[in-house]
Amino acid sequence: MRVLAIGCHPDDLEINCFGTLAIHAKRGDEVYICNIANGCMGDMLNPPEVTAAIRLKEAKAAAEKIGAKEYICLGVDDLSVNSYDEEQLKKVVDVIRKVRPDYILSHGIDGYMDYQRDHNEAASLVFNASFVATIPNYKSKYPVYETITPIYFFEPSASNAFRPTDYVDISDVIDLKLEALRCHESQVKWLMEHVSKDVVETTKATAMFRGRLCKTKYAEAFKRCDQVLRMTPKRMLP
């Protein structure tokens, strides 16, 4: 199986679905990790280009930690993610056509939107690109991918409205998930300084809460995208 996780910023995937990705990697599936934005605004003091370089290094280390096959960063500046930007759409289409995933993990649409505009624009980019990738006359770097890829939305940050359809037991990989998150040293520091949030502890607490709801110790929660042509007769999550 090939699994493609597309997050907005470096660390979004680590927080929300790295346990699930780690399980896939451990069982021999191909895991591809993509960030649309470069994380250039996630620092109190460093200029954007320095911060982007730091975040890229940290994201690569986190991907390696769980055994991902490839890490990809599309290099869009923070606060500039735009689902109506044709060049950004083409970049996401290229990733989908290159990987040819069995399913995609990404930010949510349909009422499960995030507090952060970049996240919401990323969600729309992925949803649109996963359809556009199937259009033969849409020309990009890679050949057409005929499958309209199923999508699972991971849990948005700071949302009271998320109602999961699926849970993945990550009890056996919770430590690995948190180790990967700690690779983002600059972001852990930034979130503490900017919003007084210990992202590692918050992530662990969220996994514990979701675990209690499905009678296990730690879990990640997802909402299956049920738009037409995206449903499958089988569960894709591990």
pLDDT in tens, 203-216: 999 999 999 999 99
Structural domains in the chain, sorted by start: 2-224 (3.40.50.10320)
How would residue 224 be classed by pLDDT, with cut points 50, 70 and 90?
very high
Average pLDDT, the chain: 94
Res. 112: pLDDT tops 60: no
State residue 32's pLDDT score. 99
State residue 113's pLDDT score. 62
Question: What is the percent of the chain where pLDDT is above 90?
Answer: 83
Instruction: Give the pTM.
Output: 0.96
Only one residue has tokens 């990989």, namely: 173
Angle at which helix 117-132 crosses helix 86-99, to 10 degrees, equals 60
User: Which pLDDT tens digit goes with each residue over 15-26?
Assistant: 999 999 999 999
State residue 111's pLDDT score. 55
Per-residue CA distances from 212 to 161, 164, 165, 173 (Å): 18, 13, 15, 16
State residue 233's pLDDT score. 85
Distance CA 187, CA 51 (A): 10
Instruction: Please report the sign of the dihedral spanned by the C-alpha atoms of residue 218, residue 35, residue 155, residue 153.
Output: negative
User: Which pLDDT tens digit goes with each residue over 150-194?
Assistant: 999 999 876 777 899 999 999 999 999 999 999 999 999 888 888
Return the DSSP state at 216: S
- Give me the phi and psi of 70, to 5 degrees please: -155, 145
Return the DSSP state at 105: E
Distance CA 123, CA 107 (A): 5
Distance CA 153, CA 151 (A): 6
